Amino acid sequence: MKTTPSRRSFLKLAAACTAPAFGSLAFAAPQTQQKFDKVADVIVIGSGFAGLAAALEAKEKGASVMLLEKMPAYGGNSAINGGAFAVAGSPLQEKEGIKDSPELMLQDMIKSGRGLSHVDLLKNIVYGTRPAFDFTVKYGVKYKPFVQHFGGHSVPRIMQTVESTGGGITRPLVEAAKNLGVDMHLGCAVTDLILNNEGRVIGVKVLERHDYRKENSGVPQVYGARKGVVAATGGFSQNVAFRMQQDPTLGPNLESTNHPGATGEVLQNMLAIGALPIQLDQIQLGPWSSPDERGFGLVSQFNTIAGFPKGIMVDKRTGKRFVNELADRKARSDAILKQLDENGKPVYPICFTDSVGVKQAQTLKNGLKYGVIKKFNTLGELA
């Protein structure tokens, strides 16, 4: 018999996927008589998709919840991504007659995982996509009225927020958390994890009113958790030295679209108390960004909705395609990284599409305005 994991188990997985990493940190000493400045049933570290979902889920079940965010705004990397959500069996798929299933999405993910996937955990994800999607809709998230086909997926199954950013998900969830009474803390950096004599995490040491640009800024506080601590702290790509420990090829010349606070301190604290990192070197690269703009930018959205599914990507030296534009992101990223000139410098590819292909490209207007997307009326102009 096939069982469908609950949303709770799906959210537990999302929190657990924040993998720890090795560092040169001292082990936290167990605390027997620890005094806390404030106590809640559950402490959630991080305010991205996983952290907000975990906080809301715990609050729905009657727990008192404290949510801690290091940065001066909620959302983390989740807020600045593209707001795209792969859903196997969404209402729009049903409406448009797209045949999809968790089983099909599972096969797509196993293929993209190149044999490294933990299939039981993948099942949690694929069977949880529809419940998790419904969870966001319940709290007011709005999606575009059409399904998109992204790389690595065998059928169109991508739902995207009307804003084309993850902020379209994080903002409603933040408001819901506030309305439900979650104790929300901005500018609150976790500096250490507190253990009891059995080695269980019972709280955290923090710096309130912390400025992420100043390492030790803020007011020290100690918070306790009666039931547990959820680490949903996101990525570490802005910590270049730590990133290169995992993958030496991802050096300082490779820009990150992570926000500036994605530096991985809590991940390292987790390992310092015995957490086990799994495949931490499998760092995701996005093949859609442009060297003409910093961060995620306008071109990323244009490429995912127009350039890749409706056009072609070519090596500008030859004018020829060098990879399937709808391959999974690792295949495309690896192919792009191999495009080097005789001096080892990157040769950035170019995406082409036509006036039909750009009809749903939400960032086209501003991309043209700022010159990061180019328009040509004739083949002569293009040449």
Alpha carbon 181 to chain centroid distance? Answer: 25
Which distant-in-sequence residues (6+ apart) come within 8 Å of 143 by Cβ?
Answer: 85, 92, 137, 159, 160, 161, 162
Instruction: Pick the closest to residue 225 from 20, 39, 37 (CA basis).
Output: 39
224 beta partners: 39, 203
CB-CB neighbours of 164 under 10 Å? 21
Edge-to-edge, what's the strand order for the sheet holding 201-208? 183-185, 65-68, 38-45, 219-231, 201-208, 189-195
Distance CA 168, CA 52 (A): 13
User: DSSP assignment of 145-206, as one string?
Assistant: SS-B--TT-SS--EEEBTTSSTHHHHHHHHHHHHHHT-EEESS-EEEEEEE-TTS-EEEEEE
Say which DSSP state 340 is in: B
Using CA atoms, how far residue 328 sits from 113, 149, 156, 185, 324, in Å, is 9, 12, 14, 37, 9
200 a catalytic residue: no
Which distant-in-sequence residues (6+ apart) come within 8 Å of 89 by Cβ?
Answer: 100, 101, 102, 129, 130
Query: Which residue in 200, 243, 317, 329 is the catalytic one?
Result: 329
Distance CA 363, CA 298 (A): 6
360 φ/ψ angles, rounded to the nearest 5 degrees: -105, 15
Return the structure tokens found at 182. 């979650």
CB-CB neighbours of 374 under 10 Å? 12
Match 């065998």 to its residue by tokens: 154
Annotated active-site positions, please?
329
